Amino acid sequence: MPDPVDALEVSDLPLDELVACHECDLLMRKPELARGEKAQCPRCGYELYAHRHNVVERSLALVIAALLLYVPANFLPIMQLNLLGQSSQDTVWTGVVGLFDTGMQGVAVVVFLCSMGIPLLKLLCQLAVLLSIRWNIGRSYGLLFYRIYHHLKDWGMLEVYLMGVLVAIVKLADMATITVGLGLACFVSLLMVQILLEVVMSPHQIWEALSGEDAHAGD
């Protein structure tokens, strides 16, 4: 675990040798990590950062998988509803269009951005960042895209949309016949891949690779 530093020591140490806990703000000396190791806050146990192997290659594989899942997750039927002889198939996109057509344009825009627009933009930013590291080109643009990605992180709400779909299925189960579609499986898979990507794509290593401090981020 990193060693905490007091106020008197801070002025004597360069900033690149210090790290602050994201959860409890404890200021510590930045430890040197070997491959596979991780640094935890001695006060609260929060993972400060980790040194994972093959970060770029593994993250690229997950980003490509997420992009392949994006289209079926949003445009294949999530569920088929049969009520009083009437049948309808609903997708994420038809949900947005339905909200817009019923006069709730503001809600439709928010749903579109949080469930389709921003998640796609996040994936494209991650792809650009990883390719700039992998091919060693455009590192300055990679830094820009990674900053944009961090600003967008809290606006992609696939899990909230998924909870809404599950609540709708439970509420309508007693009134109609509901058949779960392939789109729901793709949507859940997309969410799981993005969660795994957040774990694998170590921010500490990505920032160092983009700034040229870590030439072995892909090892």
Each residue of 169-216: pLDDT tens digit? 666 656 656 667 788 888 889 988 988 998 888 887 888 888 875 544
pLDDT confidence of residue 35: 67
pLDDT confidence of residue 122: 92
Ranges in the chain, pLDDT < 50: 6-8, 215-216
pLDDT confidence of residue 66: 94
Domain ranges across the chain:
7-50, 55-210
Question: b/e per residue, 89-122, with b = 16+ CB within 10 A?
Answer: ebbbebbbeebbeeeeeeebeebbbbbbbbbbbb
pTM: 0.75
pLDDT confidence of residue 102: 86
pLDDT confidence of residue 125: 94
What three-state secondary structure class fits 217?
A: coil
